[in-house]
Structures are given as structure tokens and as C-alpha cells.
Amino acid sequence: MKAALFCAARYVGAAPHDIWPLSGEYYSSEAAVRSIETTFEQFRCADEFGFDWVTVAEHHFSGFSLTPNPMVMAGALSQIVRRAKIAVLGPTLPILNPVRVAEELAMIDTMSGGRLVAGMMRGTPNEYVTYNINPAESRERFAEALHLIRRAWTETRPFGWLGRYYQYRTISIWPRPVQQPHPPLYMSGSSPEAGAFAAQNHIGIGFAFTTVPLAKSAVQHYRTCAREAGWEPAADNVIYRAMFHVADTDEEAFADMSTLPPRISLADQNKAIAEGVRQSGYYGADAVGQQQRTSRRELADRIELGQIIVGGPDSVFAQVKRIHDELGAGVIDLVVGAQLGARTLHSIELFGAKVLPRLRELSQQ
């Protein structure tokens, strides 16, 4: 089983994490620079301790993530992370120019010597507010954009494109991807429609901030659709993302996580937006509900659901193995659960040194 480290480049300055969009009055350039430096340090650590991938993503207008353009971050990582693959999970296709996405991802694949993993995402409701794109068009825009990108990567002769949402007189991208016929592709597989589309187009699927029972059902649907399409997905075609924190003992890990300040998840924020709390363009804590500091019971419940992975090395291995066994997932995408300085780096080191070697054995069984 492979392991990836996802760092969202969370803003480490003093700012609320339950408001979208977040006012610039909270912004400190010094804190933002420190946030990026912290992210680079964590990715270096993951590369040093054997993680297979490092992962970046696209988010806007929030202290949750300082990567509105994940390609810029991935380009920087191609010169910092020397061994691990660089997973861009991903550009939000419906709000972007797909030809530009094809060019930028091909450039990253070239800069990294063929280490790109390309995750194409539809995005979340707040992303459509960001660039004023009609969310009702998102699924069709996504499908057309993905087909266009794939053709741009594989077609060697200039070609034109006349689609419903995108029209181009001539396309002939330079540079071209190092990996042939193109870098591995992934997309979200949470909905039945997405799972079927991915299966029909031989695309891997990923799950983020869901639960093991929900993901298990979605994976079964995906595999059924793939068999109907004439192929069998491998374990590496399934990614599962969860927040993680490893310490020397379970008690230390739970203590670290339970002292975190309350956070409102992006899923909660997007739920509020989708339910129509839009009038002022401001979505704060009142819209998404209040959360208290995380209790040990709440942590245990979330571990049981597979939403978080917390504990000493043995406990964390057991939690990841359960995800592997129940989903047949070949990649665990681990989200840095806490910005705790040296303890966070120690968490990454412990996973790489004491958990990851045991996970490798799962692929050989």
C-alpha cells in the first residue's frame, strides 16, 4: 500500500477557520511566508521518510489553504521533493481553461522527470462562487474538459475543438507529458455518476473526508461499472484521504489532537452555501454551526468511521489496514491533522519509519 502526504498549506497566522470568504484584514504576509515554509518542510520530511506521493490541491479565499493555483506549488515541489511523486488533486476543471491545465500539468510532469499524478476535480460549491461559474453546468463542463485534456496530451498533430463549453481553433501543447500515454488520472468517486464516469473512462477514483462505509459502497459501484466496461481496477486506482496524527503512544496522539482549537470543515461550509446562505456573500460560523474542542469520545467515533487516523504506530497501522481491507484502496492520502511544529514532523517521521514499511507488505500478501 502506498502513502501520500497532503499539506493544504494552511495559514498559520491568527485567523478564524470557520469563515468563507475570509477577510483580508486577518492576513499577515509574514505568517503567509511562514505557512509556505512550514508546508515545504513537511513535504521534505515526507520525501525523506519514504512517502510515495506528496499531494496538493486547489482552494480559494480561505486560510484553510494558500494554494489557489496548485500547479505553482507543484512546480516548486518538483525542485524540492526529489523522489516522491507529486499528486495534484487537483485543478478544479469547470472553473479553469482546460488547455491551460493540460499545458501546466505537462510542464510539471516534465519538471519532475515524469512524477506527476493528475487528479481532475469538479470542485465544491464555494469554488463556483469564486469564479462565478454556474454549478448546474459543472458535471458537463468537467467531462468535456477532461476529454479535451486527455486528447491534448495524446494527440501529436494540431487539432481543433468545438464543444459545448470550450472552443479552440488550434491546440498543440508544448511541453508534452513525460509519462506515456499520459500521467495517471484520478477523480472524485463519491457519487454514483462520478463512479460510473470514472469506470467507463479508465480513471482512478479518490475519496476525501467521507466515511469508510460510504466509500466502501462507492468503490463497489465503481468496480462493478469497470467490469461492465471491460477492465478490472487495481488497488492503486483507489485513493482514500483522511486526517492523521501519529505519536509515540496512543495517549500522546489523542492529547495532541484533543487540544486543537475548533474547526469548521469545508464540507460544512459548502453545505451551508448549497443550502442557500448566500445573500451577503459571507458564510461564517453562524451559518455552519458551532463546534467545541474535540473530545476523546468524538475522536474515537471519527476513527471508527475512518474520518481520522490517530494513535501510536501500531494503532495507526491497524486503522489504515482496515481501510485497505474494506475498500481495497492502494493509496492512503494523509492530511496533516495539526500544525504542532516539531510534533507534526515527528508524526510524519513515525508514519514513514514505523507504519509505512508494514503497509508495503500488504501489497505482497
pLDDT of residue 260: 61
pLDDT of residue 282: 31
pLDDT of residue 273: 38
pTM (2 d.p.):
0.90
pLDDT of residue 277: 34
pLDDT of residue 24: 96
HEC per residue, the chain? CEEEEECCCCCCCCCCCCCECCCHHHCCHHHHHHHHHHHHHHHHHHHHCCCCEEEECCCCCCCCCCCCCHHHHHHHHCCCCCCCEEEEEEEEHHHCCHHHHHHHHHHHHHHCCCCEEEEEECCCHHHHHHHCCCHHHHHHHHHHHHHHHHHHHHCCCCEEEECCCCEEEEECCCCCCCCCCCCCEEEECCCHHHHHHHHHCCCEEEEECCCHHHHHHHHHHHHHHHHHCCCCCCHHHEEEEEEEEECCCHHHHHHHHHCCCCCCCHHHHHHHHHCCCCCCCCECHHHHCCCCCCCHHHHHHHHHHCCEEEECHHHHHHHHHHHHHHHCCCEEEEEECCCCCHHHHHHHHHHHHHHHHHHHHHCCC
Question: What is the block-wise mean pLDDT of the chain (365 residues), using blocks of 10 residues?
Answer: 96 88 96 97 98 96 94 97 96 96 98 98 84 90 98 98 98 98 97 97 96 97 98 98 97 87 45 40 33 75 95 98 97 90 96 97 73
pLDDT of residue 126: 79
pLDDT of residue 125: 77
